[in-house]
Structure formats: C-alpha cells, structure tokens
A and B are shown apart, each in its own frame.
Chain A
C-alpha cells in the first residue's frame, strides 16, 4: 500500500508495513546546494536541539525513553530528518518533527558550544581523506554553483545563529519539504500532520549548469587519488548505470574490468543532475597507471558489452533506490549506448607523479 498525496500542499508518501517499527522522514530540499557555503550543514546540526516548546535535553531524554532513533543528515540535495520508533509512539515523533521545522530556537550558545564543534569535526574527519577532497573538487569544477558548493562547513566563514535561523525560513517551507512515513496508517499520520503550518514562500530554484573539460590538482599528503568525472543529466542516469555496471561499480563488488586495473566507478544521483565518477586511489605511481588504463577502458566499451549489463544495471538501480529517495526511471537496452569523450579530472596527493588530463 503506497499512496502519495498532498495535504495542505505538503507532499506526503505513506505506506503501511507489518510489524512494530515505524519510520517518519522529512526530506527538505535544502542541502549544501542551497544558501551560502556551509549554511545547510550548520542548520542540519541545529535540528533536534532547543525549540520553543521543549529543550533539546528534554527531547533527547524523552525520545531515548521511547527507544527512538533520531538523526539529521546532510546531502548535497537535502537535509533529511529521520526518526525510527515503535508503532505506538507515532504522535510523539510527528510532533517532534513539527517542532523542529517550525519552532527551533537557534540560541547563540548552541551555535558556539554544540553546532560549530560538531560541524567542524565532520569537516576535519572527512578532509583527512584525499578521496573526499577529490570528490569535493570534482563537484566544484563540474557544477561551480549549487552542487558545486562544499558539502560541509569548513570554518572559513562566520555565521551567527540569526543567519542560520533566516536560512531555515527559506528552506523549511511547505512546498520544499516531503514527508515519508513507513509502518503507519495513512489517516493517523495525516491527522497528526494537520497541526503543521509551514510558510508557503516559494524557493527560488537555481538552474543547474554543468561544465566539462576542467581539471583540478591538489597537493596533499597521504594516499594519492585520481578521478575522471562527468556531470550528467537525470535523463541519462539509466545510460550511466549501464556503463557503470559494465565496467565495474562500487555497489557491485566483483571481479570487473575496472577492478582488475585497480579502479572503480560510481554514479552519484541528485535531483537535478548527477556525477559519473571513475576513480582510483593508493600509491601515486599505481594510481597513474590505473587511471590511464581506466580512461582507455571507458572509451573502448562496446555496445554489446553494454547490452549484456542491462540486468546488472537494474540491480544497481534497485540497490540505490530507497523509500525516501526512490529511483523510478526504467533501464532497458535502448539506453545501452553511451560514449564518454570529454570529462573533468582531479588529482589529489603526489601531483608531481599523477598525470594531467591531457596525458590520459
């Protein structure tokens, strides 16, 4: 049972499921692509802290007493509030999500004592990895704005709690949030949701522009990383799923043409764009070898190879699809034609050894 409808113009997807566990998620179209660099990350950290009705302490203690699992996650597309709890506690968690969206206090001391240290820790931990740095750079050169924003707050800019509050008003709006409820009865859920009143201001959508033929090189200690990246349109996801399944995908760990040369591919899928990545990491000389071979491998994929991977591409899509972010495009042989000629390229690590895009 799956139903999608709009109450008061909220987008709601409800499904009942047998058993005792329920989950309610709010997907807010305002990830790091939105606002100024880092704002979304800081906002995502404010969720479930003090609000006008309940202190963060009270909420945390209460929800733990109910056994609930609560998280606020950030992606380039969205801030995702997820709650999982026992069936009978639905009213409590819907109310809590409601409070987060409409009544968060954004106290100045929370910003300096809780939000900033936690956000900066995410950034420093992630930045220890050259692969993360490479992926960030790849987004920057491929999209510049929007999806090109840094995923995390890096501490270089300073925001006040008031700034974050203002930003929240621009993304926590009725036509910008989607509800996904699993293991709940539709009428119940909607009746609890009827208390929610979010502003209806429309969000300005930034048109996605992508760029090809760019290169970025970052000198850094640690294992080297090189990647070929190609910004793609949502309409082409099926094509690149097939390509990725043919040459070797990180989601389908098996002996593949790419794994034999020490590389792997991924297709990152966002709402309005995607990024096809072929990457290798490790010793600089080894990575240079691998990425060169990977480049020639991508350009030599035959259409019969692509056709025979359609079923694997279907599995790839199913593995990436979730209740909260369903992927519904169809993958068949008609999509089994893709040629990669131009691309973006990043090299992180020992850039004296790693090749330039022209050398590939």
Chain B
C-alpha cells in the first residue's frame, strides 16, 4: 500500500516475528561446512536449511534446470511433522525443513541425512515425475506476465552467459535431463566449502551443531568458480495481444552483494519506490514520480528494484499499464526522474528512501524461513553476512552526494535492457529510451 516497499502484500500477510536482529552464531565443521544459527524465542516454527552454491548460473544451456530439479527432489516431503521445501535461485539452491520448536533436532537429522545421501535419494526418486513438476513450475511462472518479464529481463541482460539462463530451466532442457546430470551436479557443488547450513527459531546453537557434526557426511572440496557474466544493453519483446495491458521492465547493470554501493543502489531504488493506482494512498505518496503519474493515470502499478547477484545485479523498474497509448509518457517521465538522481535529487528524498530501506530490510526477515534463506544466500555469495546493526549504520551513512555519484556512474547515459509483454506495440523502440538515459541540459 505504501509506495517504496516492494511486495507489500507478502510483507503484511506474513507473520511478523522480529527475528531480524538477534545475533548470528557461526560454527565451521572440519569438512568446511559452515553452520549459522539465530535464536528467536518468539518463533512458533523453527527452520533449518541446507544451502549450496549452484543455481542456474552453474549450468549450461543443455543442463539448464538441473540444480532446481535436484533440489526439488531433495527438498520435498512431509514426515513426522517436518515439512521439506526447496528454494531455487540463480546462484544458490536450498533445502529447507520447517517444524515446531520441539522437533528441530529431528529436522536437523533429516537435513543431515539428505546432505549425506543426496546421490542415493536422487537415484531412488521418481525422477520423471519431478521433471514434469518442474516444467509445470516453469509454465506457471511464464503465465504470470509480471514475473515473466523479469525472468526475460535477466535473460536478455546476461545473454550468452549462464547467468542469463532461466532459473527453473526450459521445458525442452528439463525434458532431456538424466539422473547422471544430477549426480555430476552434486559431486561438483555439494562439497564442504560450498555448503551452508542455517537455522532459525527457538533453538539451541550448540545442540544443533553437535547433531549436524555427528550425522552430516559431505566430502571436502573447493567452492566451484563462479562463471563469468557481463551485462549487454538489449531488448526483448514478447507481444501478446490477448493480454489487457502492457507489461514493461527496464533495467541497468546493478550492484553485486559485495559491492560497496550495494545499499546505495537499494536507497536509490526506494527514492522512486512502488506505486499502485488503486491503493487508497495512491494520490498521497511522496515520490515525485508517483504524483506525476497518478493524475493522468499513466500507469496501474510500478515498482523499482535493486536485485543483486554475487558480482553484479540489475537495477530498474517494472510496470503494468492499461492506458497503453500513454505508455511512452510513463517511461519518459520515469527515465527523466532517473536522470534527476545524477543531477538534482534532494536531501529530503534521500532521507525518506533511507528510512524506508531500513524498515524494509528489517521487515523482510519476518519468518524463520526467510531468515534461514537470507543467511544461506549471503554467506554463500559474499562469504559473510553483516549484522543488522552494521547494515543499518551503512544505510545511515549514505549521503545525497553518494547517491548522485553512484547514479552518475551506474545510470547516467548507460546502456539499458528492456523486457516487455502484452500490448507491446505501444512501446517505442530501444534507441529512444537509450537516449533518455541522459539529458543535454537540465
């Protein structure tokens, strides 16, 4: 409802448990596996996850989908009150067990068992059934235009590199996957230094470490090298006149997890935030862009994002527009606002965006599952996870000039990537939008 918060519905619907801020305890096992736990006395559900670095980025066009498929097989089932689910990203995969607090030791034994016998579990599984389910998941994603354009945005931005591959694979690549492919993946990626086990809930760190240490058997091994990726300014249009709107996303190359400008990019995205023309506060929200677009109903919804991978990212917006004849007005004003980040953004706008970034950061960690996933991903991709206090003070120290400096380097006159579906005939050609990334005068 409030502009500036991505995915507000998910935030407000989920349980709020304030887990964000307790200290994380770490332990390293002799085989290189990192264990990280956060205790939260208020949690009703405890979660423990095994995360390993792989994801679609570790694949190639013919094995695309294998990490998601393997993880889906390992992370599924309900046994004795322990629910197994999986989480698949572009660079990591996770098997997460959720259970009631008193049952967490049982859950950690199950996680250790899966980690130790991954290859046997794959061999004994209904491989073909899981392939069908994964293809179904991919089709589901493609059927939601808002999600589909984002997947194609990164496919176009990182084309030619494995980072551009779809997270869940394609129906044709998944169809041909074999059990051998899964075993090769596990052999290479499920190795000590590439595995993080994270847990959150009403739990005891030492007890958990002991359980895992005694029952987890993962071979030692080096973290595989992350495949390179570089950003290419480009455009992809998937015209579909059966859809009632135009769905467009435009991005530039963003910041990686380890980038010093990681939080600056987040704050910059929150300067414009998000907007929903049907929310009761649509006409009231602060960003200049939202006040420009609401009066003439240029846009139904828009949302800015700063997505990060280990060494690069995507920064931009996605929107849905039912007044398609006004689509070029909306994009024009949005890009002109982006220009303003480099030249005339005000202190008040940055202050607001900073506060919103802080609350957003804290509020996102609203379930033990999201905490577990946050720890797993950050530790795998950047080697460590900074404390919330550190994150907040980093955001506090950002000044207007820092955002301007970032925008001059990352945004001003930079190549863009465009992805769209629906009534794309209303979208002007690439060079027009590329030219709007700078102004001749201001």
**Contact (Cβ within 8 A) B358 A86:** yes
In the bound assembly, the distance between CA atoms of A254 and B81 in angstroms comes to: 12
Q: Which of B7-45 contact A (CB under 8 A)?
A: 8, 11-12, 15-18, 20-22, 42, 44-45
**Contact (Cβ within 8 A) B356 A64:** yes
Whether B80 is near chain A, meaning CB under 8 Å from some CB there, is yes
**Contact (Cβ within 8 A) B78 A19:** no
Whether B343 is near chain A, meaning CB under 8 Å from some CB there, is no
- Among candidates B99, B280, B285, B356, residue contacting A115 with C-beta atoms closer than 8 Å: B280
A21 and B355 contact, Cβ closer than 8 Å, known pairs A56-B281, A315-B83, A323-B15: no
**Contact (Cβ within 8 A) B21 A21:** yes
**Contact (Cβ within 8 A) B284 A312:** no
Closest to A256 in B: B78
User: What's the least CB distance linking A246 to chain B, in Å?
Assistant: 10
**Contact (Cβ within 8 A) B284 A71:** no
**Contact (Cβ within 8 A) B355 A65:** yes
User: What's the least CB distance linking B347 to chain A, in Å?
Assistant: 12
User: What's the least CB distance linking A313 to chain B, in Å?
Assistant: 8
Whether B211 is near chain A, meaning CB under 8 Å from some CB there, is no
User: What's the least CB distance linking A181 to chain B, in Å?
Assistant: 11
Closest to A319 in B: B45
- Among candidates B11, B44, B284, residue contacting A57 with C-beta atoms closer than 8 Å: B284
**Contact (Cβ within 8 A) B363 A323:** no
**Contact (Cβ within 8 A) B12 A69:** yes
Residue-wise interface mask of B (259-299) relative to A, using a CB-CB cutoff of 8 A (1 in contact, 0 not): 00000000000000000001111111110000000000000
User: What's the least CB distance linking B114 to chain A, in Å?
Assistant: 14
Whether B77 is near chain A, meaning CB under 8 Å from some CB there, is yes
Residue-wise interface mask of A (236-250) relative to B, using a CB-CB cutoff of 8 A (1 in contact, 0 not): 000000000100000
- Among candidates A20, A60, A312, residue contacting B80 with C-beta atoms closer than 8 Å: A312
The interface size bin for chain A is 35 or more
Residue-wise interface mask of A (320-354) relative to B, using a CB-CB cutoff of 8 A (1 in contact, 0 not): 01111000000000000000000000000000000
- Among candidates B4, B18, B282, residue contacting A18 with C-beta atoms closer than 8 Å: B18
In the bound assembly, the distance between CA atoms of A183 and B44 in angstroms comes to: 17
CB-CB under 8 A from A310, the residues of chain B are 81
Closest to B84 in A: A254
A315 and B8 contact, Cβ closer than 8 Å, known pairs A118-B280, A254-B77: no
A311 and B81 contact, Cβ closer than 8 Å, known pairs A21-B359, A61-B286, A67-B359: yes
- Among candidates A65, A84, A312, residue contacting B352 with C-beta atoms closer than 8 Å: A65
Whether A139 is near chain B, meaning CB under 8 Å from some CB there, is no
User: What's the least CB distance linking A227 to chain B, in Å?
Assistant: 21
**Contact (Cβ within 8 A) A254 B45:** no
Residue-wise interface mask of A (43-68) relative to B, using a CB-CB cutoff of 8 A (1 in contact, 0 not): 00100110000001100110111111
CB-CB under 8 A from A20, the residues of chain B are 20-21, 358, 362, 388, 392
Whether A252 is near chain B, meaning CB under 8 Å from some CB there, is yes
**Contact (Cβ within 8 A) B98 A69:** no
In the bound assembly, the distance between CA atoms of A69 and B285 in angstroms comes to: 12
CB-CB under 8 A from B307, the residues of chain A are none
**Contact (Cβ within 8 A) A70 B1:** yes
Whether A314 is near chain B, meaning CB under 8 Å from some CB there, is yes
Whether B103 is near chain A, meaning CB under 8 Å from some CB there, is yes
Whether A318 is near chain B, meaning CB under 8 Å from some CB there, is yes
**Contact (Cβ within 8 A) A315 B100:** yes
CB-CB under 8 A from B103, the residues of chain A are 311, 315
In the bound assembly, the distance between CA atoms of A117 and B15 in angstroms comes to: 29
Closest to B359 in A: A67
Closest to A59 in B: B284
User: What's the least CB distance linking A323 to chain B, in Å?
Assistant: 6
Whether A219 is near chain B, meaning CB under 8 Å from some CB there, is no
CB-CB under 8 A from B284, the residues of chain A are 56-57, 60-61
Whether B5 is near chain A, meaning CB under 8 Å from some CB there, is yes
Closest to B39 in A: A18
CB-CB under 8 A from B21, the residues of chain A are 17-21
In the bound assembly, the distance between CA atoms of A64 and B359 in angstroms comes to: 10
Whether B415 is near chain A, meaning CB under 8 Å from some CB there, is no
A84 and B388 contact, Cβ closer than 8 Å, known pairs A254-B76, A318-B100: no
CB-CB under 8 A from B116, the residues of chain A are none
CB-CB under 8 A from A315, the residues of chain B are 45, 81-83, 98-100, 103
In the bound assembly, the distance between CA atoms of A264 and B100 in angstroms comes to: 22
CB-CB under 8 A from B362, the residues of chain A are 19-21, 84, 86
Whether A114 is near chain B, meaning CB under 8 Å from some CB there, is yes
- Among candidates A61, A65, A68, A71, residue contacting B8 with C-beta atoms closer than 8 Å: A71
A312 and B77 contact, Cβ closer than 8 Å, known pairs A19-B22, A85-B359: no
Closest to A125 in B: B278
Whether A295 is near chain B, meaning CB under 8 Å from some CB there, is no
Whether A207 is near chain B, meaning CB under 8 Å from some CB there, is no
**Contact (Cβ within 8 A) A311 B80:** yes
CB-CB under 8 A from B22, the residues of chain A are 18-19
**Contact (Cβ within 8 A) A252 B2:** no
Whether B171 is near chain A, meaning CB under 8 Å from some CB there, is no
**Contact (Cβ within 8 A) B280 A182:** no
Name 21 interchain pairs, CB-CB below 8 A, sorted by A. Answer: A17-B17, A19-B20, A20-B358, A20-B388, A21-B363, A60-B285, A61-B286, A64-B355, A65-B355, A68-B359, A69-B11, A71-B1, A252-B78, A254-B84, A255-B76, A315-B45, A315-B82, A315-B98, A318-B44, A319-B98, A324-B16
Known contacts A19-B388, A254-B76, A311-B80; 17 additional CB pairs below 8 A are A15-B42, A18-B21, A19-B20, A20-B20, A20-B358, A63-B2, A64-B2, A64-B355, A67-B356, A84-B359, A117-B278, A254-B84, A315-B100, A315-B103, A318-B45, A322-B16, A323-B15
Q: Which residues of B contact A (CB under 8 A)?
A: 1-5, 8, 11-12, 15-18, 20-22, 42, 44-45, 76-78, 80-85, 98-100, 103, 278-286, 348, 351-352, 354-360, 362-363, 388, 392
